[in-house]
Amino acid sequence: MTDTTRRAVIFGAGGAGLAVALSACGASGDTTASADQDGAQDGQSQAAQGGGELAKTSDIPEGGGKVFKDQDVVVTQPAAGEFKAFSATCTHQGCPVASVSNNEIVCPCHGSRFSAKDGSVTNGPAARPLAERTITVSGDSITLA
């Protein structure tokens, strides 16, 4: 085997390994989904698409909230009977927020905190607020619009 052939084989094997590694990294965050017969997307619940019940109002504590990871939404109740919803993805580095307490939404990755009232940053390193999501409260039912 010549030096050129050896280099080609080694480079080819290394390149293939890199391609496999890159595909594996990309696959974990793949958010594409195909539509099934009824128009729903694979991997998403009816509530994530709107129209389905996300929670009962009694599930959301006053001054706190609840994170719905599958729907990428956090629902809060900053004051009695007032319900808000925001993206559950931290604006700092895209980590999912984990909890809501004392009217703050908490990201466990780097300690960012956001207001449960308006999604604004109350403690960095995040510099941008959480995106507001639209919910509908009807009776004791909360749905994602």
Q: Which of 139, 84, 85, 130 is nearest to 107 (CA)?
A: 130
pLDDT, tens only, 53-68: 889 999 999 999 999 9
> Is residue 54, in this structure, part of any structural domain at all?
yes
Q: How many domains does the chain have?
A: 1
Residue count (the chain): 145
Domain holding 130, by residue range, is 50-144
Question: What does the pLDDT read at residue 35?
Answer: 32
Segment 105-142, tens digit of pLDDT? 999 899 899 999 999 999 889 999 999 999 999 999 99
For 18-31, what is each residue's pLDDT tens digit?
343 333 333 333 33
Residue 114 lies in a domain: yes
Amino acid at 104: E
Which has more confidence, 89 or 5?
89
Closest CA to 86 of 58, 46, 126: 126
Q: Which residues contact 7 (CB under 8 A, 6 or more apart)?
A: none
CATH of the domain at 103: 2.102.10.10
Cβ neighbours of 76 (radius 10 Å): 28
Asked if residue 47 lies in contact with residue 143, where contact means CB atoms within 8 angstroms, the answer is: yes
Per-residue pLDDT at 32: 30
pTM of the model: 0.65
